[in-house]
Structure 1
Amino acid sequence: MKKIYLLFTALTIALTVNAQDNKLITTIQNRQGLSLNGAWQYIIDPYETGFYDYRYKELSEKSGDAYWNTDKQVNKTEKKEHGYSDKNTLQVPGDWNHQEQRFEYYEGTVWYKKSFDYKKQAASNRVFIYFGAVNYKADVYLNGKKLGEHKGGFTPFNFEIPDTLLKGTDNFLVVKVDNKRYADEVPTLNTDWWNYGGITREVKLVEVPKLFIQDFMIQLKKADHGKLSKQSEVEGWVKLNNVPADGETITISIPELKFEKQFKANGSVVPLNFSLSRVKLWSPDSPKLYTVNVSSKTDKAEDKIGFRTIEVAGKQVLLNGSPVFMRGISIHGEIPQEIRRAYSYNDALQLLNQAKELGCNMVRLAHYPHDETITRMADSLGLLVWSEIPVYWTIDFKNQQVLTKAKAQLNEMITRDHNRASVIIWSVGNETPVSSTRTDFMHSLITEARKLDHTRLISAALEVNYSALNDQNVIDDPLGEFVDLVAFNEYLGWYGGLPDKCRTTNWSTIYNKPLFISETGGGAKGGFHADSLTRFSEEYQEWYYKEQISMLRRMPDNFVGISPWVLNDFRSPKRNNPIYQEGWNRKGLYDDKGNKKKAFYILQAYYKEMQEKQSAIGK
């Protein structure tokens, strides 16, 4: 018992340290404030004239040439060479690429400007500006003063606005957005997806009391070797901002369970440990969510939380103590029929309903954190989620600054979604080439992920080196030693031979861990029909999936699921066949118009078979 107590204490300390380090506010739901979504004026600035002078030195804060300063003339003699106008507007949230033709391939700087009025509800309250995501680098200015900067195109961030800076009327908010690709960024120069630029997710002002609840994490403790008791043990923490010297009292309540308990806060982070009875566990078959309230004397926050456990036991993945087979699909955060980045409730509903129709109980959100609406909707619909940071292909693994950037994105992804029951896997990367430098880099991310959240599985999508000597492919990537789930991408029949190669191929791993296929797929242009040997025909893709599924039936007993590539066709500047691709990756089971391809029905039938098999085992 003493060892168990010490382990819990160590985990609590690790989680507490993480909570202290992160500045992100996650309790923005139902907060008072002001949405800044809608039309923003803009200036395209490919030479960054609004940021650097003619000697390429950063402009001074008071410079009239700086685009973060007002474009209004003091008098008619003042020189102004920039201006914001309603003739040039972009919708926020939204990428700039799809909104005007001149932005389609644009990579560079765009200045966004929004004017707003705001009167605080109470003089002692504090105001923050919150961004769901900006791709890739954001420099944020209010009324000529810089609030801060952020790198990372898919994770949220916020800055506090000083009382001395916020005006009641005509505030002048400017965001310099730069989506240029660099070798020392995350992701790096080379990616197989469209580099949508802009303020791609919501922007809002959030008003909070002087002492407020900044974040909290509440999760069911892992089961004891897959066994769950009637008394469910819960652990977590609450992070307070600006705790007084004499402490604070925190109350946790779950009205539906008639639960309420108080905790004394003597510092900024309050560890939680309590029991719940009569809890209905969250699962894909029954995605039960409870309203959880966290309150202090001056503040209140709430969230919809599902209680479940996820763990690895030997060769199996256990959800709530029972083996689960993951019928997955990989998804890009894109709406193909409108050629734009996904961000809204309706976008999430489209993508996840497509996955549900396919027969999925799981989605892999690739290759970056998707909008928060999709993980929250996955909670409601009962879809398991693999969430990933864009450590992709050949980033600069020897560069410590790149590792720091990757850790920052990992921290922001986990912090935002650590209460989502649907998220069961944090992924630290995709198809990274094997070397000792890369393995050390990725191992460091895995260690960081476990410090941030020990309640979920950690994985990465590994590449495969196909055997040239025989038909036995062994997953022996050194990174497999450190992950919970050995996941690999394979494209046998698309990048290696023809689909009938699957008939004699077998798979195994040197690790005594669950095995998961994180990608497989072949391309087809929707509506193009030919014989099954013709590349890019729907018949070729259909044949590909038939052969893959026959091979899957021979997988070893540690095979726990698959997330084929990909749900929808998506834009990629790497795909330039002038007849069949035209700037699209065509591996989707839906085409760019939303039509199902023939392969959709092959995978759907397999998933129905596996669902019936799982149900029979459960009985």
Structure 2
Amino acid sequence: MSRVPRELLPVSDEHPRPQLTREHWTNLNGLWQFAVDEGDIGRREGWHRDPAVFDREILVPFPPESELSGIVEDGLDVVWYRKAVRLSGSENSTRFILHFEAVDYSAEVWVNGQYLGGHEGGQTRFSFDITDALVDGPEQIIVLRAHDDHSDLEQPRGKQDWMPDPHVIWYRRTTGIWRTVWLEELSERHIASVVWLPMASPGSVEVEVRFGGPSGPELELELSFSADGAALARSSHSVTAGVLRATVHLEDQRLHAEPEELCWSPEHPRLIDVVLRLRSDGDLIDEARSYLGLRTVGADDRAFLLNGRPYFLRLVLEQGYWPKTHLASPSEVDLKREVELIKSLGFNGIRMHQVVADPRFLYWCDRLGLLV
């Protein structure tokens, strides 16, 4: 039986990838069915089709070794997760994408008994288009198998210990799901990713946008930039391939007279909001939101340069480990509080240590002002 207090269910309204958010998505964190595969027999015996073997509950995204997971057991090399979900698509949704932000170390995924694929790497996100695996009816069944061999010393592990009890500088292990699981509803052709690169020229930004879905007629991408509700630029671009690269020039008198008013720094963490709209024959088929900071970094023979000026770095080592949840952050509040505490101690930046930072943590660094 589960030992998880239901008031602790970690289902947040905050989007897990702040630099490309949409209205229609579903957080799948919370209680999942759980099973330990001590003899590694689950694949051979078809556990992905057998709900009876899932005799426990775990609180996702906390790893089973952690206190808040409700399992609190170590030495689990193979574990299975199962969850029934309900889908309700928006008007333009034709594809459903299942995202795992992190599973340690290797994972395999089934939906309604259909194998979708696997992933290796405990720190990197992965996704599957589950649309063709969906069935008629109110529920869809997601099953994940995670394999994390604690005795394999060649497996990348960061600061996780390979011994039953942590020793010297090592931390307790993190197995299985340890970051948000979520579903996203997308149109057939959609914005897949966006990367911003501020240039040395004030207000000039290079952008790279990648698109998902099959090739088809020419699309149009509209970018709208604003700061504190005031429009800075709007540009329109023809999309004829899977990748669009362009340069946008923002217009605001402050960029020339008082650039510090719009440029990002730890002391003045000003962010620029962006709305991306993808159209086909004038019809809106995808809309997403993003943000960026106008800042440049570099170095000369004497100093680190931020926005073209010498800047003294005061950095602290960020381990990204939490006593009750291990590598998984306890909550959005804790991520924000971590940044606030670092700044209150007088630091202006961090060095991430043997862990890939949670995108929500990076968001609060951007929003509150920390170099990473």
TM-score, L = length of structure 1:
0.50
1:416-444 Cα offsets, whole Å, 9 max, x none, are xxxxxxxxxxxxxxxxxxxxxxxxxxxxx
Say if 2:38 is the partner of 1:41. no
**Separation in 2, partners of 1:254, 1:138:** 39
Are the counterparts in 1 of residues 64 and 71 from structure 2 also a CA contact under 8 Å? no
Q: Residues of 1 paired with 2:33 and 2:154: CA distance?
A: 31
Q: Which residue of 2 aligns with 1:178?
A: 147
**What is the one-letter code of the residue matched to 1:304?**
Y
Given that residues 204 and 248 in structure 2 are in contact (C-alpha distance below 8 angstroms), is that contact kept between their aligned partners in structure 1? yes
Report how far residue 193 of structure 1 moved.
3.1
Aligned to 2:305: 318
Q: Is the 8 A contact 2:221 2:237 kept in 1?
A: yes
C-alpha distance in structure 2 between counterparts of 1:249 and 1:214, whole Å: 15
Corresponding residue of 2:122: 153
* Structure 2: distance between partners of 1:49 and 1:243: 39
CA distance in 2, matches of 1:302, 1:271: 18
Deviation at 1:27, TM superposition (A): 6.4
34 and 339 in structure 1: CA distance in 2 versus 1, 3 angstrom threshold: closer
- CA-CA distance at 1:187 after TM superposition: 3.6
**Residue 207 of structure 1 aligns with which residue?**
185
Q: Contact 2:58 / 2:70 at 8 angstroms: preserved in 1?
A: no
| Aligned-pair identity (%) | 26
- Select 2:341's aligned residue among 354, 357, 363: 354
Q: For residues 93-104 of structure 1, what are the structure 2 equivalents within 5 Å? A: 93-99=61-67, 103-104=72-73
> What's the offset of the Cα at 1:42?
0.5
The alpha-carbon distance between structure 1 residues 166 and 156, as it changes in their structure 2 partners (threshold 3 A), is farther
Query: In structure 1, which of residues 84, 90, 104 is the aligned counterpart of residue 54 of structure 2?
Result: 84
Pick which of 164-173 and 366-375 moved more. Answer: 164-173
Match of 1:216, SS state, is strand
Change in CA separation of 1:282 and 1:145 when aligned onto 2, cut-off 3 Å: same
The letter for the 1-side match of 2:61 is P
Residue 608 of structure 1 corresponds to none
Alignment of 1:340 onto 2:326 = yes
Residue 137 (structure 1) aligns with: 106
Any idea what the Cα deviations from partners look like across 1:294-338, whole Å, max 9, x if unmatched?
1111111111221110112223211100111111111222223x3
Deviation at 1:250, TM superposition (A): 0.9
Structure 2 residue 314 is the aligned partner of structure 1 residue 327: yes
Q: Which has the larger share of strand?
A: 2
Q: Which amino acid aligns with 1:382?
A: G
1:41 counterpart SS class: strand
Q: What SS does structure 2 have at the residue aligned with 1:326?
A: coil
Distance 1:235 1:160, change over 3 A: same
Q: Give the Å deviation of 1:109.
A: 0.9
Specify the code of the residue in structure 1 equivalent to 2:223.
I
State the SS of the aligned residue for 1:195: coil
Give the partner amino acid of 2:189: L
Match 2:132 to one of 142, 163, 188: 163
CA deviation profile, 1:398-419 (whole Å, cap 9, x unmatched): xxxxxxxxxxxxxxxxxxxxxx
In 1, are the aligned partners of 2:59 and 2:70 still within 8 Å (CA)? no
The answer for unaligned runs of 5 or more in structure 1 is 1-24, 52-58, 60-64, 72-81, 224-228, 386-619
Q: Using a 3 Å threshold, how does the CA distance of structure 1 residues 26 and 145 change in structure 2: closer, same or farther? A: farther
Q: Confirm or deny that 1:266 pairs with 2:240.
A: yes
**1:40 positional shift:** 0.5
In structure 1, what is the Cα distance between the partners aligned to 2:361 and 2:41?
A: 37
CA distance in 1: counterparts of 2:220 and 2:71, whole angstroms: 55
Superposition pairs of residues 63-74 of structure 1, within 5 angstroms: 65-71=45-51
Tell whether the 8 Å contact from 2:63 to 2:325 is kept in structure 1 after alignment.
no
Name the residue aligned to 1:112. Answer: 81
Aligned-pair distance for 1:358?
1.4
Whichever structure has more helix as a proportion of its residues is 1
**2:232–2:250 contact (8 Å) kept in structure 1:** no
**What is the aligned counterpart of 2:267 among 277, 281, 285?**
285
In the alignment, the residues of structure 2 paired with residue 319 and residue 326 of structure 1 have an alpha-carbon distance, to the nearest angstrom, of: 10
Q: Using the alignment, how far apart are the partners of 2:111 and 2:127 within structure 1?
A: 13
Q: Contact (CA 8 Å) 2:30, 2:61: kept in 1 or not?
A: yes
Kept after mapping to 2: 8 A contact 1:243/1:268: no
Letter in 1 for 2:46: A
CA–CA separation in structure 2 for the residues paired with 1:358 and 1:140:
43
| TM-score computed with the length of structure 2 as normaliser | 0.82
1:351–1:209 CA distance, 2 compared to 1 (3 A): same
The answer (yes or no) to whether the contact 1:118–1:168 under 8 Å persists in 2 is no
Alpha-carbon deviation of 1:135? 1.3
Aligned match for 2:220, one of 241, 249, 263: 249
* SS across alignment from 1:374: helix
Asked if structure 2 preserves the Cα contact closer than 8 Å seen for 1:31 and 1:206, the reply is no
Equivalent residue in structure 1 for 2:211, among 233, 237, 240 = 240
Cα distance, 1:201–1:166 mapped onto 2, change above 3 Å: farther
Which shows bigger deviation, 291-300 or 156-165?
156-165
Equivalences for residues 114-513 of structure 1 within 5 A: 114-122=83-91, 125-181=94-150, 182-187=152-157, 192-221=170-199, 223=200, 229=201, 231-242=202-213, 244-255=215-226, 256-278=230-252, 279=255, 280-297=262-279, 298-336=285-323, 338=324, 340-343=326-329, 344-385=331-372
More off after superposition, 155-164 vs 375-384: 155-164
Q: Match of 1:176, SS?
A: strand
**Which structure 2 residue ranges, 5 or more long, are not aligned?**
1-16, 163-168, 256-261, 280-284
> Secondary structure, in 3 states, of the residue corresponding to 1:277?
coil
For the residues of structure 1 that align with 2:195 and 2:356, how far apart are their CA atoms? 19
Q: Contact (CA 8 Å) 2:315, 2:348: kept in 1 or not?
A: yes
The number of equivalent residue pairs is: 329
Contact in 2 for aligned 1:243/1:267 (Cα 8 Å)? no
Provide, for residues 557-587 of structure 1, a one-character-per-residue CA deviation record: whole Å limited to 9, x for no partner: xxxxxxxxxxxxxxxxxxxxxxxxxxxxxxx
For residues 134 and 258 of structure 1, the distance between their equivalents in structure 2, rounded to whole angstroms, comes to 40
Per-residue deviation, residues 490-514 of structure 1 (Å, max 9, x unmatched): xxxxxxxxxxxxxxxxxxxxxxxxx
